[in-house]
Structure formats: C-alpha cells, structure tokens
Homo-oligomer: A and B are copies of this chain.
Amino acid sequence: MVDAYPVSGPVGSRATIGNVSHHPLDLALPKHVEHALTEYLATRRASGEAMDASFASAVDALADFVLGGGKRIRPTYAWWGWRGAGGDPDGPLAQAVLTAVSSLELIQACALIHDDLMDASAVRRGKPTVHVAFAARHAEQGWHGGSDRFGMAAAVLIGDIALAWADDMLFAAGLPAEVLRRMSEPWRDMRTEMLAGQYLDVLTQAKGDSSADAALRIDRLKTAAYTVERPLHMGAAMAGGSPELIAGLRAFGADIGVAFQLRDDLLGVFGDPAVTGKPAGDDLAEGKRTLLVSLGMELGAADILHSALGMQDIDRSMVDEVRRQLVAVGAVDGVEARIEELTTSALATLSSTPLTEPAAAKLSELAISSTKRTY
C-alpha cells in the first residue's frame, strides 16, 4: 500500500543546483511524511475496527491530531541525518527510511497529548486539546461520570497508543534487520530523554526552581536531545555513518536544539497567537521556568514575573507589562545572544563534519530557520 506511492520521480527530475537539492523527496518532505502517517493510521484504523468498532473513535482522534498540523521537524532532521551520511533518495531503502522517520511524529503526538493534559492546556494549533475535546464529547452526550475525568482518561490512553504505535510503525517500515539494529540505540535513548525531560520540567515548575541551570538542563533533554540531536543520530545510524560523522551531527544537534528551545521560549511570551496557535502569554500562565524567565529574575524583573507565573487568568495588559520589562532589563537580549552563540557554534561544527551534500547546506538552512526571530 505504501509501495504504491511514488517516492522517486523519473531520473530526469533529480537535479542539484549548487548545494540545493531538487530531489522530490527532499523538496516536499513534510508532504511525504504526512502521506506515510496517513497510510499507516488508515491500516491501524481498519485493524482497530476489526478488533472493536468503538475503538475507531480513538484512532480517529489520534489521526486528526497527528495530521492536523506540526512542522515535521523531527522527521526532517532524521531524514537529513540519513542523507548527510550518504543515504540515497533514489536507493532501495528510501521509502522505508521515510516511513521510519515519520514514526517520530507519533512519539511527538504522545508527548504533546500528555503534555497538554499535564499542563491543563485547552488549545493546541488553534483547536481544543485531546482531553478537552473528549470531555466536551462526554458532556454533550450526557454520559455517566465526570466529563473531565473521561477527557483525562481518553488523553492518557490515546497518548499511550501513539507511543506504542511509533514503535510499531518504525519496526514495520521495511528496514533491514541490520539497519534497525544500528538505529535502535538512538531510538531508545531518545524516548527516555524525552520522558526524563518532561519529568524534570514538571518537577522544576513544582519546585519553583528558576535557575538558568535548571532551565538549560531541561532544554538539553527535552528539546535538544529529543528534537534535533537524536533524530540526526538515528538518521545517520540508519545510513551507517562513521563515529566521527555521528559525533559531529550530535554536537551540531545539541547546540541547535537548545537554540530552538530558547527561540520557542521567546515565542511563548512574545509570539502572536495567530502564528503560534496558543493564547498570548500561555507560557506565563503555565508558570514555565525558562532561561528567559531566569534572566528576567536575575536582571530586575523578578516582582512582575513572580506575579505573572502561574496566573491562570492572565490578561493582555499583564502580558504586555511582562514583555516590556523583559525587554527593558535586557533578558530578551541575553537570550538572543545565547541563541546567536549556539547557532554560530553549531554552524562551525557542521562545517567540519564530513557530510554528503546537499545535507550540509540543508542543515545549515534548517539551523537558521529553526532559531530565527518570528515575532
């Protein structure tokens, strides 16, 4: 079924101009990732329905979530890790690799569905979060028991299903046993790093630890390792990349991943809800402890931050005042400088890593777009 999908165009359609690939897979990667996920979830829906008709509602909710948005950033880094270590988009493994990297979106679905539940977030990508949508369905139908508890249970289970199916999708991708073996270490480490990062995040918020050190430790696990470093590692391992190449990609990924999170933290406070899909100041309401918050506290905006953090009904004027003070005391400049520094370091590492083109060019482009200002 996945085989029927054209993954490589006619030979003539592949062209590399300068460092830019025109290979159809490279060019439209998110679209191919979405196609792989659509096909995979359709087969799971069919077998789920055979198991029990009402299970389909869970599969549909997961499919809506996974296919309803997302930048496909983890599959993209994994794909370019594979390409950079010599993976051939016209070779016999290209489709299997594409399916394998797409499975990362199911891990991310688990992370986000559970994260939204833990943070009690009502909105994601402009739509109700899974626990909120299921609670609403329960209330509309006048079902037994509490609606909130039903919504919670559905979100717990749908997240669990996503985590289990990520694995199933990877192992059913059609990769040779040797390739699976090589990538299993980064795959497994990545899952634990993601979950450990989430746990530390929850613990740090509860303890009210606003230190820069704590914020950076979480960023390293939750974003750097999970979002950039391990996907690159996985991809390169699939292609049988050398230890030197893998070390270079990982160092690059660790820097870019932290820079990416720092940009995300700035967007969490300064972002436009129309672009982020989340309410203004959502990170403040959640009480998120970030490097931005930590610098703000150190540099003289501690009072307003103490008032704003965790304020469930934070209003626009409060958000504006926090923004003004974070700029005024220099916290924003401090975070921007750190992003700059990490990006420079990442690009230097990249230039000394023996990657197959066009991966080096594409990764440097991704490094910049993942960390650039969009507010």
Residues of A within 8 A of B (CB): 48, 51-52, 54-55, 57-58, 110, 114, 117-118, 120, 138, 141, 143-145, 149-150, 152-154, 156-161, 163-165, 167-168, 171, 177, 181, 184, 188, 191-193, 195-196, 198-200, 202-203, 205-208, 217, 221, 287, 310
Could you list some 6 contacts between A and B, CB below 8 A?
Answer: A52-B217, A57-B203, A120-B149, A143-B206, A145-B205, A157-B198
CB of A163 to closest CB in B, whole Å: 6
Inter-subunit contact B145/A287 (CB<8 Å): yes
**A203 vs B53: C-alpha distance when bound (angstroms):** 12
Number of chain copies forming the complex: 2
Known contacts A152-B118, A202-B153, A188 near B171 by CB under 8 Å: yes
Known: A145-B205, A205-B145, A208-B143. A160 touches B55 (CB 8 A): no
B52 with A160: CB separation less than 8 A: no
Residues B196 and A52 in contact, CB atoms below 8 Å apart: yes
B221 contacts A145, C-beta separation under 8 Å:
no
Given known pairs A58-B199, A114-B160, A160-B159, the reply for A51 and B143 (CB within 8 Å) is: no
Set of chain B residues within 8 Å of A208, measured between Cβ atoms? 143-144
Q: Kindly identify which residue among B144, B195, B205 contacts A164, using a CB–CB cutoff of 8 Å.
A: B195
Q: Which residues of B contact A207 (CB under 8 A)?
A: 141, 143-144
Query: B118 to A153, Cβ gap below 8 A?
Result: yes
Q: Distance (Å) between the CB of A58 and the closest chain B CB?
A: 5
Nearest CB to that of A217 among chain B residues? B52
A145-B205, A149-B118 are contacts. A110–B160 as well, Cβ < 8 Å?
yes
Chain B residues near A48 (CB-CB < 8 A): 192, 196
Q: A138 to nearest B CB, angstroms?
A: 6
Smallest CB–CB gap between A184 and chain B, Å?
A: 6
Q: Which residue of B lies closest to A152 (CB)?
A: B118
Which of B114, B167, B168 interacts with A156 by CB under 8 Å? B114
Closest-by-CB residue of B relative to A168 is: B188
- Within 8 Å CB of A167, what residues of B? 167, 188
With CB as the reference atom, state the residue of chain B lying closest to A111.
B160
On chain B, the residues within 8 Å of A198 by CB distance are 157
Assess the B184–A171 pair: CB atoms within 8 A.
Answer: yes
Measured between beta carbons, the chain B residues less than 8 angstroms from A205 are: 144-145
Option from B110, B157, B164, B188 in Cβ contact (under 8 Å) with A199:
B157
A157 and B114 contact, CB distance less than 8 A = yes
CB-contact partner of A163 in B145, B163, B310, under 8 A: B163
Minimal Cβ-Cβ distance residue in B for A161: B195
Q: How far is the CA of A313 from the CA of B58 in the complex (A)?
A: 31
Q: Are B196 and A55 in contact (CB under 8 A)?
A: yes
Cβ-defined contact, A150 with B206, below 8 A = yes
Residue numbers in B under 8 Å from A154 (CB-CB): 199, 202
- How far does the alpha carbon of A342 sit from the alpha carbon of B141 in the complex, in Å? 36
Known: A114-B156, A160-B160, A207-B144. A150 touches B202 (CB 8 A): yes
By a CB distance below 8 angstroms, the chain B residues around A114 are: 156-157, 160
Q: Are B221 and A144 in contact (CB under 8 A)?
A: no
Task: Beyond A58-B196, A165-B192, list 19 extra A-B contacts (CB 8 Å).
Answer: A48-B192, A48-B196, A51-B193, A54-B200, A54-B203, A55-B199, A114-B156, A114-B157, A120-B149, A144-B205, A144-B207, A145-B287, A160-B195, A161-B199, A164-B188, A164-B192, A167-B188, A171-B184, A177-B177
